[in-house]
Chains A and B, each alone.
Chain A
Amino acid sequence: MSQTPHQDDAEDATGVDVTDPAEETAAEERDARVEGAGSSEDSAGADDSADPPTPTDHVSGSSDPNETSQPSVFTGVDTDDADEADGLDADDTRADDADADDTAEIAPITAPTIQGVRATGAIPIVGDAMPVTGAVPVIRPIYPPKSRTPWIVTTIVLFLLLAGSVYLGWRLWTVNGEWQDYSDQLTQANYDLGEQIAAEQLIVTQKENEVALLSEQLSASNSRLLDVSAEKADALDNDAWNQQIVEQQGNQLSLGQAATASLNSCIDGLENLVEYVSAPEDEYDADQVQDYADGVVELCAAADTATQNFQNAFTP
């Protein structure tokens, strides 16, 4: 099937195919002509071997550069047209094989085809475009074949994720077990330390009680020591004071003894003087008696002095 450029444009614009039987018959006749033209084109394929064959080349069979370079749009066709197109493509394929032999030296650039239709590039338009009349059928789009690479990549990624998840789970399980063991050991250690702390606290409490008791005893001892020290100091004070008293009393005693002795001498002298004076006149010499009386007076004066000193010893 081939079509003129303006027909291509028309079908592109409509995107539909004509289903009128009369038109189909005319289209079949045009197809037959196209096939004949295609054969003639194949004979001249060696001339075009430098250019990669395009669907437009096969379909139109035109050697016009303008016409071959015209972008073609492949729209959908009905089943009959598709079958005819398939047959045409098969012939084209054989013609391409012959061209490949002719162009062995130059590597042909062939587009991948799916069931005879190019998989990439512009979609060729097969058949003649006819005015759209009547009901417009729904055209089934033809999608390009999907690549399997994303699925492969996705599968690999998911597999890696699965493997990673398995490893992660195993690792978490292992670490969790180790941490549980650690926790158990730690708990046991805490209990042991708690028992030690309880025992130490008991000892500390006992020691505190002992310290409190000893502190109380020390305080009492210190208080008693201060009391004893004060008593000792007081005793030393009293001793010093008593020593002073003893010294004072000894001094007073000495003074008293001296006064007593002086008074006794005075008294004895006075008694003797009285005896001398009362004796007959011729018994004692008057001068001697007078001298004795003077001596007695001195003794008594000394006794008065001693007595005064003795009395002064009691005066504070």
Chain B
Amino acid sequence: MNRRLIAASLAAVLALSGCAVLPAAPEALPTDWVPEATVDPDTNTAALSPDGFNAAQRMTVRVRNIECRGVSTGTGFALDAFTLVTNRHVVDHAKNLQVSTHDGRLIDVEAASVTTVADIAIITTAASLGGAFAVRAEEDPVEGDAITVVGYPNGGRLTTTAGVILGPADDPIGGAVGTVLATTAVVEPGSSGSPVLNADGEVVGVVYAKNDADQSFIVPVSTLNSLLAQPSLLVPESTGC
């Protein structure tokens, strides 16, 4: 009898415990199916620019050197709103220097400074260059690194060229004290002073020469950083005929 009583009690307990696991009645249907739009136009401006050009294009300028007898061109890139970097030989024998931006603005140059350490010149402009400035890398590129060169070859339109770092090389011109790097990027006269960018868009060098094998030579960014850290190495460039 006790067994049956226990069994019946267990059955009752199990049956009543089923009430505890009964599915609850559904709640009211939610009304917030569609979330509020949270698109903020200011949060995704990294990939966009005001005029459709990327930062490398906007920071790269064309340098015109009006000499006493003739006109030559080169390339430079903005370090800040009023300072840009180019090659020393771009500003040599200049009677007048002018800078043209990617969108055709013409900016006069106030002063130019050069150094004998490397084929580097620092130019100060009279007006703002724009809103895009170079970000210098901390370390030099190594052999095999992919690079991009943005410049004005032959004084023509703004061009982007890809290449690979070949490694340290002897200076073909002989004007550099430190080590230079050879690349496979094809450059032309007028590309001198072009920024060399790595995959992250950081400046890793400055184009300054080429050879007959269409190899280009760049001043590594470490040299540029050293020059910028030591202004005493820069001397003003004289102008006039």
Contact = CB atoms under 8 A, between A and B. Distances in A.
Interface of A: 147, 149-150, 153-154, 157-158, 160-161, 164-165, 167-168, 171-172, 174-175, 178-179, 181-182, 185-186, 189, 193, 196, 218-219, 221-222, 225-230, 232-234, 236-237, 240-241, 244, 248, 316
Interface of B: 1, 4-5, 8-9, 11-12, 15-16, 18-19, 22-26, 29, 33-34, 51-53, 62, 64, 66, 69-71, 73, 96, 98, 100-104, 106, 152, 155-158
B94 to A, nearest CB: 11
A153 B104 CA distance: 102
Contacts of B12: 157, 160-161, 164
A168 B34 contact: no
Contacts of A171: 19, 22
Contacts of B9: 157
Given A157-B11, A222-B52, A237-B64, A178 B102 contact: no
Contact of B52 (A147, A172, A219, A230): A219
Contact of B19 (A160, A168, A181, A193): A168
Nearest to B69: A244
B157 A158 contact: no
Contacts of A237: 64, 71, 73, 155
B19 A241 contact: no
Contact of A193 (B34, B62, B156): B34
A160 B19 CA distance: 13
Nearest to A243: B66
B156 A230 contact: yes
B29 A182 contact: yes
Contacts of B25: 174-175, 178-179
A228 B33 contact: no
6 contacts: A157-B9, A175-B25, A182-B29, A185-B29, A225-B104, A232-B104
A126 to B, nearest CB: 30
B157 A229 contact: yes
Contact of B71 (A147, A179, A232, A240): A240
Given A164-B15, A226-B102, A240-B66, 4 more contacts: A167-B19, A230-B156, A233-B64, A236-B64
A189 B152 CA distance: 59
Nearest to B105: A229
Contacts of B53: 222
B102 A229 contact: yes
B15 A165 contact: yes
A234 B66 CA distance: 13
A119 B157 CA distance: 123
Contacts of A160: 12
Given A160-B12, A240-B66, A240-B71, A172 B51 contact: no
Contacts of A227: 157
A222 B53 CA distance: 7
Given A150-B4, A179-B26, A237-B73, A168 B155 contact: no
